Amino acid sequence: MHIGVLTGGGDAPGINACIKTIVTISTEKGYRVTGIRRGWNGLLAFDPDDPASRTEHIVDLDSELVRRIDRTGGTLLHTSRINPGNLKKKEIPPFLRNSPHLLRTGLHHSGNFDLTDHVLRSIDALGLDVIIVIGGDDTIGYADHLAKAAVKVIGVPKTMDNDVYGSDYCIGFGTAVTRSVQYIHQLRTSSGSHERITIVELFGRSTGETCLVSAYLAGVDRALIPEVPFDPETLADYVIQDKAANPSQYAMIAISEGARMIGSKMIEYCGRRYDEDGHEPAGIGQLTRETISMLTGQDVICQQLGYLMRSGIPDALDLMVGFNFAQLAVELIAEGTFGVMVALQKGIYTCLPLAEVSSNTKQVDISELYDPRYYRPKMRSVMGKPMFLY
């Protein structure tokens, strides 16, 4: 059995623990493990006709090479956000741009190209029997695309946002929340000293779970998430009340990077400040800081945690889940189960079809976990819920 392993999307603490366990257990079973560098881009940029290409994009993994990697964050294999099924012209490797292979297999859709045929050629040239894919929505989505092309694939959910459908937990989530809570509490020092309103911007472009759980555990005054657009005037009134009620005269707001003001309010207070992808160049945290400051006349600061949430060593939970997701993935290979993603559901390790994962989305259950009127976490009942409430 020859197993390929790759990591796609953003890096996250716990990925290396997963890679190590895949290699260790596979070696014990007599399986060979090959690492694919830089996610799906490794298979896209691999040129089977160029021996030097293998050195650049492929690495043989053994127990000695991975022996200590679980002690560090990030990913030994590096990563990218390339999706070979949805490529811009500039993302196509030079050796493919004008080749007959590209002209024969390039499928034009939405101005982009699908080079899955070349990926299949790379998989065949490398002699891979199965690929374990560690990643988030986009990476897992392309794994499903390959599964439909008869490639044996197993997905492992990884994302700081914890937004992969079908799993209560994704590698990286625990460390992201732990770091967020720590930094929010540390920021209270300066906020209280200067009697400020502080906005802390966290990861979460399409779902607010990381922000909501961090806000809940850190006890912030307000939490703004993508699922519920907010009115800046109402928010301004709330935080003035929060600040006045605090003996140290400060207020704390947690905001997801994907949070949005109510449409007309964004235009009114921030203008049409969008980049080509429709995102605010300054970031929603900074735009909210400017708006709240203008509305209240108060000293407002914004701190983006960003990469601080995902850098450094994993916490114990991400180590445990990384180890156990890897164990389960290799178990599934041994029993001949493919086209699935490993998952945690209500505290139980399980798996579900990749097609089910890629055809659904995961968002915060507003009715159970959030108060959209007051912009606060609100756990109406935890009876019968899993540890992370999702």
Q: How many CB atoms sit inside 10 A of residue 313's CB?
A: 16
Q: Quote the CA–CA distance of 133 and 18 in Å, as a whole number.
A: 11
3-state SS string for 182-240: HHHHHHHHHHHHHCCEEEEEECCCCCCHHHHHHHHHHCCCEEECCCCCECHHHHHHHHH
Specify the pairing of strand 107-109 against strand 153-157. Answer: unpaired
Q: Quote the CA–CA distance of 17 and 128 in Å, as a whole number.
A: 22
Q: Is 172 in contact with 310 (CB distance < 8 Å)?
A: yes
171-181 per-position pLDDT tens digit:
999 999 999 99
Q: Is 314 in contact with 137 (CB distance < 8 Å)?
A: no
Q: Quote the CA–CA distance of 263 and 172 in Å, as a whole number.
A: 32
Q: Is 266 in contact with 246 (CB distance < 8 Å)?
A: no
First-last CA distance in the chain? 36
Residue ranges in the chain whose pLDDT is less than 50: 108, 275-276, 280
Report the interhelical angle of 284-296 vs 232-245 (nearest 10°). Answer: 70
Tell me which DSSP letter residue 90 carries: G
Specify the pairing of strand 222-224 against strand 370-371. Answer: unpaired
Burial class (CB in 10 A: 0-12, 13-18, 19+), 197: buried
Strand pairing partners for 202? 256
Report the amino acid identity of residue 350: T
Half-sphere exposure of 50 (CA within 13 A, CB side): 11
Residues tagged active-site:
161
Q: Quote the CA–CA distance of 254 and 208 in Å, as a whole number.
A: 10
Nearest to 205 by CA among 109, 155, 138, 266: 138
Q: Quote the CA–CA distance of 131 and 147 in Å, as a whole number.
A: 10
| CATH topology for the 2-171+313-358 domain | Rossmann fold (3.40.50)
Phi, psi of 275 (to 5 degrees): -90, -175
Domain spanning 175-309+366-377, CATH architecture: 3-Layer(aba) Sandwich (3.40)
**Do 2-171+313-358 and 175-309+366-377 have matching folds?**
yes
Q: Is 144 in contact with 357 (CB distance < 8 Å)?
A: yes
Q: Quote the CA–CA distance of 322 and 22 in Å, as a whole number.
A: 10
Q: Is 135 in contact with 9 (CB distance < 8 Å)?
A: yes
Buried b (16+ CB within 10 A) or exposed e, 266-280: beebbeeeeeeeeeb
Nearest to 46 by CA among 56, 35, 60, 59: 56
Domain boundaries, the chain: 2-171+313-358, 175-309+366-377
Q: Quote the CA–CA distance of 330 and 81 in Å, as a whole number.
A: 25
Using CA atoms of 342, 344, 349, 353 in order, give the dihedral in degrees to the nearest 10: -40
Nearest to 142 by CA among 354, 333, 330: 354
pLDDT at 380: 87
Using CA atoms of 68, 72, 74, 77 in order, give the dihedral in degrees to the nearest 10: -10
241-253 per-position pLDDT tens digit:
999 999 999 999 9
Handedness of CA 11, 13, 16, 17 (dihedral sign): negative
Q: In the structure encoding, which two tokens stand for residue 40, read together?
A: 């799906």
Q: Is 208 in contact with 290 (CB distance < 8 Å)?
A: no
